[in-house]
């Protein structure tokens, strides 16, 4: 999956009603979205953009005594709760399915807390089953999408007698079988040209996924372990590292406290929760992202791009003109730059390398681009 720019990267928070999605969204974005004990309260999609905390950028800002600091951004979307039948328009079905289509990462929030006051739509606590329900709805919707496309492909392969259409048809049929086994499209093993066909289908399950298990007191840790194990067995191998366990409500309360209260509260805890940091780390890993830097006294910037991008592609994240007119770039690791005392010393010590368009940008690169 090509993930190039930082500005448009977005995470969609998906799950059953009352799983803790809005609470999580609020604590991450500090937006005041009402979190209420009522299914279907979040009718409009709620979007929050956050600046990504970055200690290297902070150091760069301090080093240059920069007037302005511009961090990378990430967008979070609080998507209304899904229920069984959503793919058929149950609840607010169609509406939120289309919101999911727009995000880069799906973050499932799974309820693992008991509460008499907070109803569970299915009247029991079972995060593994909940994931199955929500994922099934997304897959069902994808099945529908592929069936439609298969119809077209069949017609075209017959009428046009075109070999490419025959191949497309076969690929769609394989995709349908895969989805039919209850597996998300993203986990399909595909060749490069097939990847293109797959991406063109805009399937809901052709997206990177991550999972937040929302736990709270009252649940035995052995029970939580069991759930985690079951969930792990349900997801593909390469997704297994992308599961977080968090007490979303506590973290929500924490985000409401003033600094003094927060310090006091945190001092009582053994593990200091920092959900935002944890979530961001998982998203970065999940999308295989790296951060690079630009700037000077006027302004320092952090930028995000997928690993494996060339420096020319990276310059396109800053501005398309820079990519179009790209000539070369000077590159030095941002921490080394600061350590050695600045550009002139870094150059003298041979730390600055001049690179052509094909250089693969590295995490922590500080770059100066020369362009027409």
Ligand X SMILES: Nc1nc2c(ncn2[C@@H]2O[C@H](COP(=O)(O)OP(=O)(O)O)[C@@H](O)[C@H]2O)c(=O)[nH]1
Q: How far is the CB of 362 from ligand X (least distance, A)?
A: 39
Stretch 35-64: interaction string toward ligand X, x if CB under 6 A: xxx----x----------------------
Which partner in ligand X, Mg ion, none is near 266 (CB below 5 to 8 A by kind)? Answer: none
Which partner in Mg ion, ligand X, none is near 6 (CB below 5 to 8 A by kind)? Answer: none
- Calpha distance 351→367 (Å, rounded): 12
Which partner in Mg ion, ligand X, none is near 216 (CB below 5 to 8 A by kind)? Answer: ligand X
Q: Which of residues 252 and 316 has its CB atom nearest to ligand X in the complex?
A: 252
Which token pair is 51?
């600046």
* 118: contact with ligand X by CB under 6 A: yes
Could you identify the residue written with the tokens 């880069």? 104
Stretch 256-295: interaction string toward ligand X, x if CB under 6 A: ----------------------------------------
Q: Which of residues 144 and 256 has its CB atom nearest to ligand X in the complex?
A: 256
Q: How many CB atoms lie within 10 A of CB 194?
A: 17
Query: For residues 227 and 129, is the Cβ–Cβ distance under 8 A?
Result: no
Q: How far is the CB of 13 from ligand X (least distance, A)?
A: 8
- Classify 96 in phi/psi space as left (phi over 0), alpha (psi -120 to 50) or beta: alpha
Q: Which of residues 115 and 274 has its CB atom nearest to ligand X in the complex?
A: 115
Strands 299-306 and 68-70: parallel
Give the chain's radius of gyration (CA, Å): 23
* 128: contact with ligand X by CB under 6 A: no
∠ Cα 102 109 208 (to 5°): 45
Which partner in Mg ion, ligand X, none is near 27 (CB below 5 to 8 A by kind)? Answer: none
Q: Which of residues 210 and 248 has its CB atom nearest to ligand X in the complex?
A: 248
Query: For residues 314 and 305, is the Cβ–Cβ distance under 8 A?
Result: yes
Binding site for Mg ion (CB under 5 A): 21-22, 42
Which token pair is 173?
């049929």
Q: Please give the DSSP secondary-structure letter assigned to residue 104.
A: S
Q: Report the chain's terminal Cα–Cα distance, integer Å.
A: 30
Please name the residues in contact with 261: beta carbons below 8 A apart, sequence gap of 6 or more: none
Residues 3, 14, 18, 130: which binds ligand X (CB under 6 A)?
A: 18
Q: Which of residues 21 and 286 has its CB atom nearest to Mg ion in the complex?
A: 21
Residues 12, 20, 93, 295: which binds ligand X (CB under 6 A)?
A: 20
Please name the residues in contact with 284: beta carbons below 8 A apart, sequence gap of 6 or more: 304
Q: Which of residues 72-101 bind ligand X (CB under 6 A)?
A: 81
- Closest to 328 measured CA to CA, from 372, 288, 297, 371: 371
Residue nearest to Mg ion (CB): 22
Q: Which of residues 96 and 326 has its CB atom nearest to ligand X in the complex?
A: 96
* 131: contact with ligand X by CB under 6 A: no
Q: How far is the CB of 165 from ligand X (least distance, A)?
A: 43
Quickly list DSSP for 302-318: EEEEETT-BHHHHHHHH
Which residues of this chain interact with ligand X, rule CB under 6 A?
A: 15, 17-23, 35-37, 42, 81, 113, 115, 118, 214, 216, 247-249
């Amino acid at each position: 999956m090509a993930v190039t720019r930082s500005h448009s990267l977005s995470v969609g928070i998906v799950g059953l009603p009352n799983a803790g999605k809005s609470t999580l969204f609020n604590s991450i974005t500090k937006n005041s979205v009402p979190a209420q004990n009522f299914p279907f309260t979040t009718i409009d999609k709620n979007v929050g953009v956050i600046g990504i905390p970055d200690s290297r950028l902070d150091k760069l800002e301090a080093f240059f005594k920069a007037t302005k600091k511009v961090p990378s951004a990430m967008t979070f979307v609080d998507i209304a709760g899904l229920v069984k039948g959503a793919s058929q328009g149950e609840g607010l079905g169609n509406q939120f399915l289309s919101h999911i289509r727009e995000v880069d990462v799906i973050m499932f929030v799974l309820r693992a807390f008991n509460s008499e006051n907070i109803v569970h739509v299915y009247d029991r606590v079972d995060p593994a089953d909940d994931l199955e329900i929500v994922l099934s709805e997304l897959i069902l919707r994808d099945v529908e999408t592929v069936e439609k496309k298969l119809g077209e492909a069949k017609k075209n392969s017959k009428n046009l007698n075109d070999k490419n259409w025959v191949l497309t048809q076969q690929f769609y049929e394989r995709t349908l079988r895969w989805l039919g086994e209850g597996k998300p499209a993203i986990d399909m093993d595909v060749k490069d040209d097939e990847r293109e066909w797959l991406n063109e289908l805009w399937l809901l399950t052709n997206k990177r996924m991550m999972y937040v298990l929302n736990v709270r007191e009252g649940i035995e840790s052995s029970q939580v372990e069991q759930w985690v194990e079951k969930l792990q067995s349900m997801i593909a191998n390469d997704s297994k590292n992308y599961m977080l366990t968090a007490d979303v409500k506590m973290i929500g309360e924490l985000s409401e406290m003033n600094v003094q209260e927060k310090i006091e509260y945190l001092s009582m805890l053994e593990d200091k929760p920092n959900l935002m940091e944890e979530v961001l780390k998982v998203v970065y890993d999940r999308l295989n992202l790296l951060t690079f830097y630009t700037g000077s006294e006027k302004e320092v910037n952090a930028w995000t791009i997928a690993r494996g991008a060339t420096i020319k592609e990276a310059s396109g994240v800053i501005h398309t003109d820079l990519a179009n007119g790209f000539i070369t770039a000077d590159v030095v690791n941002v921490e080394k730059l600061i350590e050695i005392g600045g550009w002139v010393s870094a150059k003298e010590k041979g730390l600055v390398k001049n690179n052509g368009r094909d250089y693969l940008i590295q995490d922590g690169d500080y770059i100066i681009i020369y362009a027409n």
